[in-house]
Every structure is written in structure tokens, then in C-alpha cells.
Structure 1
Amino acid sequence: MKFLYRASSLLLALCLPVVAAQVQAVRSDTVGKVLETPAMAVPQLESAVFIELARAGDRLVAVGERGLIALSDDQGESWRQASVPVSVSLTAVQFIDADHGWAVGHGGVVLATQDGGEHWQVRLTGIEAARLELDAARAAQPGATDTRAADLRVQLAERLLAEGPDKPFLALHFSDAGHGLVVGAFGLAFRTEDGGHSWRSAVGQIENPYGMHIYAIAREGHTWYLGGEQGFLARADNGRDFRQLESPYEGTYFTLQARAGGGLLLAGMKGHAFVSSDRGESFAPLASRAGASFSDSIALPGGDALLSNQAGMLFRLTAAGHLAPFAQPLRRPVSGLTQAPDGGLVFAGFTGLFRLAPNDITASE
């Protein structure tokens, strides 16, 4: 869904102004309705489109299209559907413990749960987000040193409010039960310090003058990283003032992994991947021998990382910085992955949810 959003936004930008306005009106009205419509029950849940996965203690939680959230308490062998108050597609999910989690998605929605994903509540929508950004842009305008940039930010915020809740959030990261950051299309970014009950715009805290889509967040200690389209890469040593880093690649990054000792893994379009050992000051390319775009990555015990791509191939990055194919190709597109409590791997994608048991992984290797 992250990839589809980028393609659809580029297509809309090529439309004639009148046609684009008509399409925008229809989209805004449609998004407004699905933000108020609970997700429908799906009979063949495991075969639906899912985008990302997370661990909630020993439970697995998957999010996907039309507000689908699925729960598994048996290592990903079987799934059941959770109660969700919206039917917009959900793009990312995170839990900080077995009970407290958040999910983000289209329509600028942020959802929260306090019972391990059984029930979810809306904490933010694109309508509220646009108002928050407009208020923040206007407040920053009088004292801005770059008046042109400040004026442009206000204009963009006004347009954001006028267009309605059609901009998705694409990534999130909570450092604890209270503090979190959500980011998404056109550089949108919002911060909470009370678990999502209230929000503030963080657009002005990120050096992103061209409003690039932000697809990924990573954190190691007090150091935060953001990655996105056209090589966008930024770092904040306090989690608030993000400054752009010189990127080793001009294509889009879809996944980041912050590693111990100042390490950073970047991966994205057309199989491009890079590692840094100095907090993003310099990078070394990784040869994946695959042209499909990387879609997700997870940290493994012992300091290794596992990457997946859209072609269903897996790659293992060792702590020493060596990237090599891992297991046999899945032959199914992968959008997200996580490791189950028993050591198995569970995947989400356009063909549904599926699992590799520990024995299958060992045999495949």
C-alpha cells in the first residue's frame, strides 16, 4: 500500500486542474465516510491484503486494507479479526508491550489500543491533523527568519485543510507509552506526549523543504532517523530537530533499521541497500543481487537483521555487515514481516498472511 500510494499521487499530479479538483472532491467525501465506518467482517481473513505486522507480547497483530486488523495467539497459525472503528487502509502498527499499541493509515488516521489489539479507538484523523498544522504554521510565521518558506508552509497547510483527509500516515514510532511520532505523505509529521490523546505538528521540526513522503522511522537511544522518497534521509539527536543527511541514493527508502554502536541500515527501491557505522555520516552499499524493492526489515537476536522484498526474497545482514540470501524465496510478495515468539517468521502481503515455522527455516537454509 505504501508503494501504491506513491504511484497514485504521481498520477493525480499529472491530471488537468479541473479533473484533479473533481477527483479530489470525490476522494475527500469517500475518505470522510470510511473514517466513520467500522471495518467489515471478512470471512477469509488470512487471504485479505495485509501490509504490516507487530508483536504484542506473545500475540501477533497484522494491519491491512479497509481497516482490517488481525490477531494471532498461536504463532501465526490462525487469525481472528479485531474490532476497528474505521475502514481506511492501515499502513503501520507498533506495540510497546503486550497491551499498548498504535496503528496509522490512510485518511490521516491514528488508532490506539490498551487491550492488546482487541479493541481500537481513533486518536487522530486527517481533518484534525490539517487544523493542527495550519495553527502551527500560522504561529511560526511572525518570527520566521525565512519569510518565504513560512508563507509557503501556511499556504500548504491551508490547502491541506481544504482538500480534506486524503493524506495517509505511513510510519510511526513510540519510545514509551506516552511519546510518539507519526509521519507520512508530503512530509506530514505529528507528535504526542500523552499516548495519542493530544497531538502537535512536528512539520517545522523536520528539514524537508520539498515535502517528501516519509516512509520509515528508526531509533537507537536518543538518535532518531527518518527515510523517504527521492533519497530523503534525516537524523535528530534529540528526536525533535531533524536535519537532512547526505544520502547515498536518490531513490526511495522504504525501511530503516538503527543498529547498535551508531549503525544504520537503509533499504528501498530496486534492491538498493546501504549500511553506516557512523550514524549516517557515510555509507557503504550492500550487494543484494536482486532488483525488487526492499519492503521491510526487522532486527534479529544477536545483532543481525532480516530484510524482505516485493518478490518474496529474504536477506540476512550479519552484525559484521555481510548481506546474503536467507532461506528459499517465498514466491509471494512481502509487504511486512515479524518474528513469532517461537522463532518462526510471519509475513504480510497482497496475498494475505503466511508463516515459516522454525523447522522450515532451518531446512530451507
Structure 2
Amino acid sequence: MSNISRRSLSTAWLLAGMWCLPATYADAAPVAPVLERPALQTEHAAQSVLIDIALAGTRLVAVGERGIVITSDDDGLSWRQSDVPVSVTLTSVQFVDPKNGWAVGHSGVILHSVDGGLTWRSQLDGIRASQLLLADAKHASNSTQPATQSALRLAQQFVDDGPDKPFLDVRFDDEKHGYVIGAYGLIFRTTDGGESWQPWMQHVDNPKGMNLYSLQRDGRLLYLAGEQGYFARSDDDGATFKRLPTPHDASYFEMQVRNNGGLVVVGLRGTAFMSLDRGNSWKPAPITTTESFSVLLTLDDGRLLYADQAGQLSVQSAKDQSITALDSSSSQSITAAVQASNGNLITAGFRGINILNQAALATAAPPGEIK
């Protein structure tokens, strides 16, 4: 598992759908029951495989394998497990305010919370998502254009395959407007807080159906990053996305918007590029590693935090772009990170939660190549 990042999880389990379960359990349980079976309560939820973490106001909310969601109101010192209606692995979570949040994951699941992550209800799953894709394609099937007919065939294939395709990122602007993205180019949009979802694949320049790992907004601009160097930008507030070239065909797992049109993408085997003109041109980011990146986070002080699959943490200065390595005192693989209200860095990973205090965040090794 050491070479699998949060956004690249589909590389290993895209078709299997249950990478995190013991073989005997996965063989015995078809996909459908996990959409109906609530997540099992466990005393060791904070030490489970956790894949993403977010802030709901000052509350921490982490999500992971088998539908586990945990929350903390004391900056990560203690955790309690939430009530979740499904047992699928959850890959991404986001809150737009202290109460309203969404989590997405395997089997096309979208969950919504209105109480800061304590309880969740299902808004969509892969069965209903495929039906929406097919209905959308049929609505446009009176056209004889090849692209439309291709969309119809693809939607029918999604229905035939069943709910085996994961969502990998969720991005809401407010409690009404948001997107979810995932494997095989999946993208859905909502304008009513997820009460209804609209397939958006036909609005995106992605004819090969590349997996989509990250979506970010910069004003009216939206960016998509994905596998094999895929990058697209919307100049019309998400109405359409046009693919733009990047210097490498490695997958981009994480992306961060910076000031004045700046943008950074990172991914497979140390791939890291930055743009100063909203993705029109690119140059290498000032960090060197052979490990795949799993985290890219803007800290409260404006520095950019990188984390790789080996557990190495590095920060990029907001002033001179220099890179320094942090002494994290931990070699565990990191899948996600967030800065708590007290300034500490809270990380999630295959061994659960870890805390790096604020003083350690400010301590850095001399600049140089990251080994």
C-alpha cells in the first residue's frame, strides 16, 4: 500500500471496489449490501485506515475505510465515531461551514451531514448515478453526433457494470453549489445542496475518460487534475472545461490554487509543477523527491505543505519559494492533512491519526534535495 495515494486509490482497486477489506470478507460480500449496511462501530476507529480529513468550523472530521467517519472537538486529542449509513470506503470530505458537509467514496456514494459530521445520510450511490448518466445520454440521443452516441454507450456500460466506480473528490462553494469527481471521468454537479445531481461529463473535455483526482476553484475559474497528466480549466464558472497541456503524463493527485493566478499540481513519483498564469504554462516546482505526493496544503501562514508516500513533510516559503524539510518524527504514510484551530497539523493515514504540534511545524531542516 505504500505507493498508493489518496487520489490514486483507484489505480489499485478501481475494479475490485473493496481494497480495504480482508479477502474472505470481500469475497463473501457483494457490492450492493455495503450500500445498505451502516458502518460498523469500533473502539479503534482513530487507528483505522483514514483517507481524508477536513475542518467543520473548529471540529475535525476524518473519513476512511468501511464507512468510518470520526470527529474531534479538542484538536485531535480524542475522537468519536459518527453514524454512517454505508460501509464503503470514503475518499474525500469537505465542509462549507460548521454544520454542512459532504463525503464521497466507493460505489459512487455521496453522503451529506447537517450537524458537523456527527450523522450522515446518503444523497447518491453508484446505482442511481449510473441511471442519471443513462437518462442524460438518452435525452441527448436524438443527435447523430458520434460524441453523443458514444456517451450513450458509455452510460449503458456504467449501468451494466453496477456501482463499482468511486468518487475521489468533492468541492462545494457554499451549501447549495458543488461538484463531485471520480474514476473514468465521472463528474456530477448540484445546485440544491445535493438533493439532486446532474451528470456533467458532457461538459468536460475528457474524451478518454481519464480519472479525475482534484477540483479547485479560483474565482470564476475552476481546475480539474487527473491521471496521465490530465489538466482542464473552466473559464465560465464550470459551464464547460477545456483540457490544457502540461509538461508530463504522470498522474496529478493534488492541486492548490495560489495567489495572482498561481497554481501547483503534484502527483506520481515526485511529479510537481507550478503555473503562474492559470495553467497556460508550467515549470517544475522547487521540490525534488522520487516518492509520490499525497498531500498539498496551504498553511495558515501562507506556506505550502507537501507530504509524500514515505511520510516526508516539506514546506515551501511563501516569499522566496525555498523548500525546507520538517522533522515530523514519523515515517508513516500520510494520505491527508489539515491545520487544526490551535495551529497543530493533524494528519491521516493508513495507521490513523497523527498530530504534529505547531512548534514542530515551524522547525525545518536546511534547504536541499528531499531524499
* TM-score, structure 1 normalization: 0.92
Q: Which amino acid aligns with 1:227?
A: A
Residue aligning to 1:91: 91
Distance 1:364 1:302 in 2: 15
CA–CA distance in structure 1, aligned partners of residues 266 and 189 of structure 2 = 25
Matched letter for residue 198 of structure 1: S
State the Cα deviation string for residues 292-336 of structure 1 (Å, max 9, x = none).
111121122343221211111112223346251331153110000
Give the aligned partner of residue 350 of structure 1: 350
Contact 2:315 2:326 (8 Å CA) reproduced? no
> 1:66, 1:87 within 8 Å by CA — same for their partners in 2?
yes
The alignment status of 1:153 with 2:151, answered yes or no, reads yes
Matches of 1:357 and 1:174 in 2, distance apart?
A: 29
State yes or no: 1:115 paired with 2:115: yes
Matches within 5 A, 1:198-217: 198-217=196-215
CA RMSD of aligned residues (A): 1.9
Partner of 1:134: 134
Report the CA distance shift for 1:362/1:299 in structure 2 as closer, same or farther (over 3 A). closer
Q: 1:99, 1:8 → 2: CA distance? A: 32
How many Å apart are 1:6 and its aligned residue?
0.9
Which amino acid is the alignment partner of residue 313 of structure 1? Q
Aligned to 1:307: 306
Matches within 5 A, 1:272-287: 272-287=271-286
Distance 2:15 2:215 in 1: 23
- For residues 122 and 28 of structure 1, the distance between their equivalents in structure 2, rounded to whole angstroms, comes to 24
Deviation at 1:274, TM superposition (A): 0.9
After TM superposition, the structure 1 stretch with the greater mean CA deviation from structure 2, 301-310 or 334-343, is 301-310
State whether structure 2 residue 148 is matched by structure 1 residue 143: no
Question: Residue 66 of structure 1 aligns with which residue?
Answer: 66
Equivalent position of 2:332 in the other structure: 332
For 2:228 and 2:46, the matched residues in 1 are separated by 34
Counterpart residue number, 1:16: none
- Listed as ranges, the matches of 1:174-253 within 5 Å are 174-237=172-235, 238-253=237-252
**Superimposed CA distance per residue, residues 79-110 of structure 1 (whole angstroms, 9 cap, x where no aligned partner):** 11001000000000000010000000001000
Tell me whether 1:298 sits opposite 2:297 in the alignment: yes
Aligned to 1:157, the other structure's residue is in SS state: helix
Deviations 1:179-228 (A, max 9, x none): 00000000011111110000110011110000000010111111110000
Q: Secondary structure at the match of 1:218?
A: strand
After TM superposition, give the deviation of residue 363 of structure 1 in Å: 4.7
Matched with 1:23 is none
Equivalent position of 1:17 in the other structure: none
- Is the 1:251–1:269 Cα contact (8 Å) retained in structure 2? yes
Provide the secondary structure at the position in 2 that maps to 1:275: strand
The answer on 1:5 being equivalent to 2:10 is yes
Change (3 A) 1:28 1:41: closer
Partner-residue secondary structure (3-state), 2:11: helix
Contact 1:38 1:86 in 2 (8 A): yes
- Percentage of identical aligned residues: 42
Deviation at 1:362, TM superposition (A): 3.4
Structure 1's consecutive aligned runs of 4 or more residues displaced over 4 angstroms after TM superposition are: 26-29
* Count, aligned residues: 350
Which residues of structure 1 form unaligned runs of 5+?
A: 13-25
Q: Which amino acid aligns with 1:338?
A: V
**Equivalent residues of 1:272, 1:288 under 8 A apart:** no
Equivalent in the alignment of 1:19: none
After TM superposition, give the deviation of residue 27 of structure 1 in Å: 8.4
Instruction: State the match for 2:3 in structure 1.
Output: none
Q: Secondary structure at the match of 1:152?
A: helix
Does the C-alpha gap of structure 1 residues 321 and 105 become closer, same or farther in structure 2, counting only changes over 3 Å? farther
Displacement of 1:11 in angstroms is: 8.8
Give the structure with the higher percent helix: 1
Contact 2:327 2:360 in 1 (8 A): no
Partner SS, residue 137 of structure 1: helix
Q: Does the CA contact (< 8 Å) of 2:51 and 2:348 recur in 1?
A: yes
